[in-house]
Amino acid sequence: MGSYFDGSQSGPFAGDPRTSGLGQGAGGGTPSGFLGLQTSSFTDFLASHSPGLLPGRVMPAAPGEPESRVPNQAIRDLPHATTIVAAVCDGGVVLAGDRRATAGSMIAKRDVEKVFRSDEFSGMGYAGTGSVGIEFVRLFQVELEHYEKMEGRSLSLEGKANRLAFMVRGNLGAAMQGLVVVPLFVGYDEDGGRGRIFSYDVAGGPYEEHRFYSIGSGSLFARGALKKLYTDGMSAGDAVLACVQALYDAADDDSATGGPDLTRRIFPVVATITADGFRKLPAAEAEQIAEQVVQERMTRPDGPVAALRNG
């Protein structure tokens, strides 16, 4: 696949997506209906046929009604997901997220999942409006599966990042009304044999991040923790531990981020993506790592101390 900046793939750096994949019929004319939309992008197809089904789509107000049908208070009361962290490791990448969702100053849910498999070699987490984020996850999964079935091969990792960027940009109108969703996309680059991380803003993106990154309300604290804990070339196991430590630090300072809940047996969702594919850590394994972090914090509440000098 070409670079996602060269215009060869659908996305914010490509041509008009409404004209992509519109093929001619056998008689030379352009077929109508479903047969006229021979596109490898399910998002393009959905936008052409049923745009109201796209994530975050807010129906326009009728004449005489206020511009938005969704009251600001109603948007603020929707559950919002928070902190997601990612770190590149030896031979892949680790993605982890806390479990708390908030509605204003209230805890809406304690066991939300924000880390998902996109396809065999990629995954994503999201921060923002929970319902819209789930729609993004499901549509992106279908998007990648649809492309593979239509083209007989999977997208490159950059192509996947670009497709997700196009979807995020399509949600800009809803984001301006408060239905903001920001994903963090990670994957194993089969061509380069390494893990990669892509971040986004509400207008699309993508931006490739190096070594580690975090999004959400607790991202400032999580990223600060990873600056001290992360080392280049660390194993997947060490990267998982560093990510859980970072989530703990985020929960320690950010009220919207949830830490390990030992009484309810609720622990961070952690996944690794390597040459062996996407692997979500089993609940028992995630519990063991979280309990190790909590036990260490009993004697050192502020977490591990980074050495000031090497050697």
- The residues annotated as belonging to the active site are 82
Q: Are 64 and 196 in contact (CB under 8 A)?
A: no
Q: Are 116 and 130 in contact (CB under 8 A)?
A: no
Residue 162 makes CB contacts below 8 A (sequence gap 6+) with 4, 9, 10, 11, 12, 13, 14, 206
Q: Name the 3-class secondary structure at 60.
A: coil
- Crossing angle (nearest 10°) for helices 236-253 and 219-229: 140
The residues facing 94 across adjacent strands are 87, 272
Write out the two tokens for 297: 């914090």
Write out the two tokens for 139: 């549509």
Q: Which amino acid is at 302?
A: D
Q: Which amino acid is at 247?
A: L
Q: Name the 3-class secondary structure at 231.
A: coil
Query: CA 10, CA 12: separation in Å to the nearest integer?
Result: 7
Torsion over CA: 165, 171, 176, 180 (sign): negative
Task: For 136-194, give the DSSP string.
Answer: HHHHHHHHHHHHHHHHSSPPPHHHHHHHHHHHHHHTHHHHHTT--EEEEEEEEETTTTE
Write out the two tokens for 64: 């005489």
